[in-house]
Structure 1
């Protein structure tokens, strides 16, 4: 598998989908609810159609799992694409320009390629496992952030099926609010991963995270030098075959990891 070729195809597809979203976002589009209280718009569907056409034309033997249309292709294929055509639909629906396009390619469940494109800023980030991360200005390596006197800045993400009165979620969020200077709830998890990779924030904490928007962003952050651990402290690689209750993680620099894992352990025991 030529992963550099796959990266080029994915980057071009994501940027084309981003152009479509940017051009149509200022117009009128339909919004409707879907399962789990999430939203879908005409723009999600149109961007996904574009992405699927390009990926399936370039890699007809690969399986594809898309946010809106589900799985297609050979269920036994070793290579699977995960497609999030519009990560941040809820933001777009209320006129907040915080959304991205995300693609990931996994081999037997392990992320090998990740691409995130920001249509508003016109910027793209990508990573191939073991080869580092690339951004708009070349290689991405998260800078060492000085320890904040008022706590870290974190991004929080959770799965769509997590209910409001989930006791572990409530305990975790309360603990993070006390420890952090700020906890961002971006409604666009892939954007949080990019912010972490480029050093804008200190950590991402995920609880029962969605599988579609997890592997690509996680890989970009890992290849930029971040550590990702499960709540149990073990390395977390974003495998897509994990059930939702095991998609819990802390992503941060090594200087902050032990502190956050201790906080998580205390909040969830």
Structure 2
């Protein structure tokens, strides 16, 4: 497969979708609930998706496409699969907060080999090909800064990602988030994971923790951050598996600058211990102290 051509097609499709979104972000929106989780879909999602699917389908007619709204399109047994998030951050846009991105990833078999993230508001694009590094908005090679920004060595700035299926009674999410907040300068929840992955690749934030993240917007961002120099592990510290066939429960991850990774994994481990204590019947105050 010609990944250089695929990269060019994906970048052009993402940027064309970004132009469409940027022109309409401040206008009236048609918003409707997508499911019981409270997630929404707008007419912008659908317009962006149609544009991207048309372009990818025309350039690679034998490829399968899995898209946020349309589901699976094209060859059901194809070795090549595109994952498309036509508007990552729909809930932001629906309330007038234009923090969003367009994301595309190409997978060969189950492994992501190409990722593209485009920010419609700024017009910037990041892309990565496995083993060939990450390119920034001007086509320059992008590498994660080797050291944290001043004042952030001990108090990192992190992004939090969780899937739509994580409910308020989940036994892990609250201990993990509270532990992260206690040991960092700030934990941001953008509602647009792809924006967070681009921020990590640039060094604007120091790490990302994901709990049961959604599949469609994960591979593109992960690949861009990883090829820029970020390191990834599963929440339990085992090697990160990029396969797209993993269930949500096995997609949890920690991604960070190499010098911060062990500290974040230790924090995740402490939260896991707190969860165990809570499960054994300890009162909330005891769990808080254990954190």
TM range (shorter): over 0.9
Identify the residue that residue 51 of structure 1 maps to in structure 2. 52
| Alignment check: 8 A CA contact 2:29 2:94 kept | no
In the alignment, the residues of structure 2 paired with residue 239 and residue 39 of structure 1 have an alpha-carbon distance, to the nearest angstrom, of: 27
> Matches of 1:245 and 1:4 in 2, distance apart?
33
2:75 maps to which residue? 74
Report SS of the residue matched to 1:126.
strand
The number of equivalent residue pairs is 269
Q: What's the TM-score once normalised by structure 2's chain length?
A: 0.90
Instruction: Indicate yes or no: 2:134 matched with 1:133.
Output: yes
Are residues 1:226 and 2:227 paired? no
- TM-score after normalising by structure 1: 0.98
Structure 1 Cα separation of the partners of residues 241 and 137 of structure 2: 25
The RMSD of aligned alpha carbons is 1.1
Matches within 5 A, 1:134-173: 134-137=135-138, 138-146=140-148, 148=152, 151-173=155-177
Q: Which residue of 1 aligns with 2:285?
A: none
Structure 2 residue 111 is the aligned partner of structure 1 residue 110: yes
Contact 1:3 1:128 (8 Å CA) reproduced: yes
Q: How far apart are the structure 2 equivalents of 1:237 and 1:131?
A: 19
Distance 1:166 1:145 in 2: 35
Structure-to-structure mapping, 1:168-179, within 5 angstroms = 168-179=172-183
Confirm or deny that 1:17 pairs with 2:21.
no
Q: Which has the larger radius of gyration?
A: 2
Q: 1:203 to 1:265 in 2, by over 3 A?
A: same
Once superposed, which parts of structure 1, at least 4 consecutive aligned residues long, lie more than 4 Å away?
none
What SS does the aligned partner of 2:191 have? coil
SS in 1 for 2:161: strand
What is the distance in 1 between the residues matched to 2:240 and 2:93? 30
Structure 2 residue ranges without an equivalent (≥5): 274-291
TM-superposed CA distance for 1:145, in Å, is 3.0
